[in-house]
Amino acid sequence: MARLTLAALGLLAVIQSSFAQRGAGNCQWAALRMQTDIYIESQTYGEVDPMLVSNSPLYRENYKQRDINTSFLTTPLKIDYTRTFVDQRECKTYSQLIVTDPKNPYIIGTQITYDNIGSAGLKAKIIDVVISRPSTEPQFNATKTLAYVDAEDWSAIVAAKQDSRDLLKIVANSYLDLWSGNDNYELPWGTPCARLEGSEYYTEECQPVSLNGKANTDRMYVIDEGLGAVSVFSKGGSDGALLDIHEFRLVQGKLRYVHHFTASDAVLVV
């Protein structure tokens, strides 16, 4: 009887701790943030920190699989700016990295999917990096981009005023569907709504101008309700070889910021 009770208590403790772990999703916010710091440090030093990855992570650069040990992640970078979205439900993060180094400037978007390996903590199992450079982004100027994003308000939204995950995803998807001329859904434009295209900043409205008749495909999402933020990687352009990094911020149901950077699916040689 005593044994049973102890066993039952043990089980209860396991259940309780797994609930505590879950918080608002499947992974703890602080643990995801900590892994992001390790990722950014890895990229800064050009060394893959074993704390970051599982034994055989899937690493993709511009949608193409590469060996992580010889990838862009092994190029040391002087990173001037970062912003991170945390998706507790899907155990994912998105980070934007801005490098203004005049010789090799980059705007980098990275989505990482983690495995929750119990006592070993979180380990990156899929790393997707999309890299925008002067040769792939017609309006590239990392210094200008940094000044614009740095001036924006991306502060956390109090729980009572957060928009739902579903709404965030609908708005992001509907925006990307605009390219195809599909305007079934009335987007909740904020007034104002600021749109950043590479390094060009439009402060009045966010409606994109050119429509090519095709919806973006191969979409990958990171959704952060706490920031009202969505990151989407997708493929677009007439031949599907253009890669798009989009960032959205919604505040109390209204679209406030749209950021868009382009890359190409060509293999990157550094």
Q: Contact residues for ligand NAG (CB under 6 A)?
A: 67-69, 141, 143-144
Task: Spell out the alpha helix ranges (H) of 23-134.
Answer: 29-45
- For ligand NAG, the closer of residues 47 and 204 by Cβ is 47
User: Residue 145 Cβ, how far from ligand NAG at the closest point, in Å?
Assistant: 9
Answer yes or no: are the C-beta atoms of 56 and 184 closer than 8 Å: no
User: Residue 197 Cβ, how far from ligand NAG at the closest point, in Å?
Assistant: 15
Question: How much is the CA Rg of the chain, to the nearest whole Å?
Answer: 20
- For ligand NAG, the closer of residues 144 and 235 by Cβ is 144
User: Residue 198 Cβ, how far from ligand NAG at the closest point, in Å?
Assistant: 11
- For ligand NAG, the closer of residues 102 and 213 by Cβ is 102
Distance CA 28, CA 262 (A): 31
Distance CA 54, CA 124 (A): 6
Task: Spell out the alpha helix ranges (H) of 99-164.
Answer: 142-150
Q: Is the peptide bond before 134 cis (omega within 30 degrees of 0)?
A: no
User: Residue 144 Cβ, how far from ligand NAG at the closest point, in Å?
Assistant: 4
First to last CA, the chain: 66
Question: What single DSSP character describes residue 236?
Answer: E
The sign of the CA dihedral 259, 171, 240, 92 is positive
115-137 burial string, b = 16+ CB within 10 Å, else e? beeeeeebbbbbbbbbbbbeebb
- For ligand NAG, the closer of residues 114 and 221 by Cβ is 114
User: Residue 39 Cβ, how far from ligand NAG at the closest point, in Å?
Assistant: 15
- For ligand NAG, the closer of residues 114 and 179 by Cβ is 114
- For ligand NAG, the closer of residues 116 and 141 by Cβ is 141
User: Residue 43 Cβ, how far from ligand NAG at the closest point, in Å?
Assistant: 16
The sign of the CA dihedral 77, 78, 81, 87 is positive
Distance CA 210, CA 189 (A): 18
- For ligand NAG, the closer of residues 141 and 174 by Cβ is 141
Number of C-alpha atoms within 13 angstroms, CB side, residue 61? 17
User: Residue 141 Cβ, how far from ligand NAG at the closest point, in Å?
Assistant: 4
